[in-house]
Structure 1
Amino acid sequence: MRKITVKTEGMMCPMCESHICDVFRKSFPVRKVTASRRTGEAVILADQPICKDALNKAVDSTGYKVLQISEEPWQKRRLFHRS
C-alpha cells in the first residue's frame, strides 16, 4: 500500500474537500481518500503508485492548485498482532 499526500491550495469549505475526494476516486484506483481544508492536504491510500503528473492534471482540472506531492509506504496498524 502507498500513502500519497497532496498539498493543495484553494480548498475553502466542506464541499471543496468533497470535490477533491471525488476527483481522486473517479480518476484513480484508490482504497481511501480524505481531504482537509484546514491542513490543505488530501491523503490517498492506494495499492499501486500513482503518477504525479496525472495527479497534477486531475487537481488542475478542478481549479485547485497542487503545491506538493509526497509518497511513502503505508501499512495498516493493528491493535493486536502476533510476533
Structure 2
Amino acid sequence: MIEFLQQNIYTIIVLAVLIIIVALIIRSLVNKKGGGCTGDCSSCGGSCSSAGGSKYMVKTTLAIDGMMCSMCESHLQDAIRANFDVKKVKASHQKGTIIIISKHRLDEEKLKNVIRETGYTLQNIQFELAM
C-alpha cells in the first residue's frame, strides 16, 4: 500500500486538487442563485436580516393591464412607494410591467390590493433574487 502511494503520489495530489476545485465551483454557483432563498427571510433562515445585511435583493416583476401612458406609470410607482419599503420601482406602460427592487419579498396580498385600489389589473407576480 505504501509503495502504491509513493508511486502515485502526484496523481493523488492532482486528483485531490481537482476535487477541491470542482467543489468550490459548485458552491459558488449555488451561492449565486441564493441557495434556494426566495427573498422571504423565513425561507433562508433569516440570514438576510443579519447584522451585516445581505448582498441579495428581491426583484419583483408585476404584469399590469391598463397602463396607457407615463402618467399611469407614475401613479402606480407612487402607490407602490407609499405602501412598501422599496429601493427602486420602474413601471413601463409599453411593456405592461413594473419592476420593483426591495430588501425583502413583498407581501403578495398587499400588492394585489394596492394595484386593485389604483384601478389597474394585476395579471401576474414574479419574485426572484437580484444582486
Q: TM-score, normalised by structure 1?
A: 0.89
Matches of 1:4 and 1:67, distance apart in 2: 13
Please state which structure has a larger fraction of its residues in strand: 1
Deviation of the 1:51 alpha carbon: 1.0
Work out the CA distance in 2 between the residues paired with 1:41 and 1:11. Answer: 9
Structure 1's unaligned 5+ residue stretches are 76-83
2:109 corresponds to 1:53: yes
Q: Is 1:32 paired with 2:88?
A: yes
SS in structure 2 of the partner of residue 61 of structure 1: helix
2:118 partner SS: coil
Bigger radius of gyration: 2
Identity across matched positions, percent: 37
String of CA shifts for 1:23-73, please: whole Å, max 9, x gaps.
000000000000000110000000011111110000000000100000000
Relative contact order higher in (CA < 8 Å, ≥ 6 apart): 1
Distance 2:64 2:98 in 1: 7
C-alpha RMSD of matched pairs (Å): 0.4
Pair 1:13-2:65 in alignment: no
